[in-house]
Amino acid sequence: MHTIIYFFLCISSLPLYSACSVRVLLEQGDITQTHEWLFVTPKKSFLCIFSNGMLSCNGKKVDTTALRISSTDNRCSYQDNVYAGDIALIIADGHFYVINTIPLEEYVYSVIRSEGWPGWPLEVNKVFAIMVRTYAVHKIMLSKNGKKRARYDIKSTNIHQTYKGVHDLEHLHQAVQETKGLILAYNKQPIVAMYDSCCGGVIPAQLNGFDFKMHPYLARAYPCTYCADCKLYRWKSIYSHDALVKMLHVEFPGLKHIKDIHVLHADKAGKVGQLHVKTTRSNKRISGTIFYRLCKDIKSFCYTIKKEGSNFIFEGKGFGHHVGVCQWGVRGMVKQGFMYKEILDYYYPGTKLMKLTTNSKTSASAYSALAEG
């Protein structure tokens, strides 16, 4: 076993990837100052340093803007995780990018560990595998078909899907293998397979802020009640006056005393669009998005507020954004005997299951080559 480090003179020199691989962004940032990256394979470590406009690896300067580290035992550690596939370090336009290129099915196997509950039944994880794969394929398609070729396909955080590299939960392989290559499509194109933890019975079609004309399969017009056993189907969070002021102070440093707070605007689904905060000196309007970001105990965008003494009580529905697959709902449906095809049809109405074909081409045609499953 040995490790190979490849040097490329420019980004365009990086090898093209196939339709069965995904490029995952592990980290990115500005490169205005000295920066270090440590990559560790089972046989060797690589300390890369960018300083004074020059890149070096293990103390030797290299005339390049992109490195790729590949180990014959298919393992490389970076920060707190171990990754399969290749890892590339790219420096361009004052930024750096650390990107892991990995086979699509290995990516799916990793993500269903992070985005789901590995101890749940096989049928649940088959649903998760298909939605994770579909979401990734859609992102790959966007990166390939853009006017300018993107450096990566998908991010490793929950901005897209949480990806933490290699894990040892072998039983999840079965869910991936039994759904291998299966994705959901609408008009023969991969859908934006959104999902959340618990929808709380909210009807997605009644939500404002989503382009349902572009993505009609997300406009489910009926409530999911299969997640009712989840403790977050209905939730309550209590903030003391001082705790709430402290939370909001991050964005509104002049805020010192709150006399009252209530929802100013909400849509038909109950999603809070704007709040009215009454203080001793003035009244403030705060967007629901900012409020949700600042107050960590607010589990979703759908809630009501009431004041009792010096406390503010928030009562809400679900955990997440209420669109697409409801993961706790999937678990409830499987308990009642539903299979993965029925479940996906329930949460993404109007879609069809399709299967990716084996194709080494890197053009958009690799994604149009779908056969109905």
Same domain, 134 and 272: no
List the alpha helices (DSSP H) in 265-310: 288-294
Same domain, 257 and 325: no
Does the structure show a pLDDT above 90 at 249? no
Last residue of a domain, one of 72, 104, 136: 104
Asked whether residue 48 is domain-assigned, the answer is yes
Same domain, 261 and 343: no
Asked whether residue 208 is domain-assigned, the answer is no
Asked whether residue 135 is domain-assigned, the answer is yes
3-class state of residue 11 by DSSP: helix
Does the structure show a pLDDT above 80 at 286? yes
Same domain, 50 and 74: yes
- Domain residues for the domain of 96 are 3-104
Asked whether residue 211 is domain-assigned, the answer is no
Q: Can you give the pLDDT at residue 359? A: 55
Last residue of a domain, one of 104, 134, 169: 104
* Long-range contacts of 239-244, Cβ-Cβ distance < 8 Å, separation of 24 or more: 239/295, 239/297, 239/311, 239/312, 239/314, 240/310, 240/311, 240/312, 241/310, 241/311, 241/312, 244/295, 244/312
The Cα-based distances of 276 to 16, 261, 265, 272, 285 in angstroms read 52, 6, 9, 11, 5
Does the structure show a pLDDT above 60 at 197? yes
Residue type, 75: R
Nearest to 326 by CA among 235, 211, 230: 230
Q: Can you give the pLDDT at residue 17? A: 34
The Cα-based distances of 365 to 14, 361, 362 in angstroms read 21, 8, 8
The residue that leads in pLDDT, 12 or 264, is 264
Nearest to 152 by CA among 225, 95, 105: 95
Asked whether residue 335 is domain-assigned, the answer is yes
Residue type, 177: Q
Nearest to 366 by CA among 220, 196, 233, 181: 181
**Mean pLDDT across 104-121:** 94
Q: Can you give the pLDDT at residue 123? A: 97
Rounded Cα–Cα distance for residues 310 and 259 (Å): 9
Same domain, 126 and 187: yes
The residue that leads in pLDDT, 254 or 39, is 39
Same domain, 327 and 364: yes
Same domain, 280 and 329: no
pTM: 0.87
How many residues are recorded in the chain? 373
| Helical (H) or strand (E) element with 94 | none
DSSP 141: H
For the stretch 128-138, pLDDT in tens is 999 999 999 99
Asked whether residue 207 is domain-assigned, the answer is no
Same domain, 180 and 249: no
Counting residues of the chain whose pLDDT is more than 90, the rounded percentage is 71
Same domain, 98 and 150: no
The sign of the dihedral angle between the CA atoms of 26, 28, 31, 32 is negative
Same domain, 113 and 63: no
Asked whether residue 164 is domain-assigned, the answer is yes
Strands 325-326 and 195-196: parallel
Asked whether residue 229 is domain-assigned, the answer is no
List the alpha helices (DSSP H) in the chain: 104-115, 122-145, 172-177, 241-249, 288-294, 327-335, 340-347, 365-368
Counting residues of the chain whose pLDDT is more than 70, the rounded percentage is 90
Rounded Cα–Cα distance for residues 142 and 235 (Å): 37
Domain tally, the chain? 3
Does the structure show a pLDDT above 90 at 256? no
Same domain, 16 and 100: yes
Last residue of a domain, one of 53, 81, 104: 104
Which residues contact residue 289 at a Cβ distance below 8 angstroms, ignoring those fewer than 6 apart? 301
3-class state of residue 241 by DSSP: helix
Per-residue buried b or exposed e for 138-152, using 16+ beta carbons within 10 Å of the residue's own CB: bbbbebbeeeeeebb
Same domain, 46 and 26: yes
Q: Can you give the pLDDT at residue 115? A: 93
Retrieve residue 101's tokens.
Answer: 């290129």
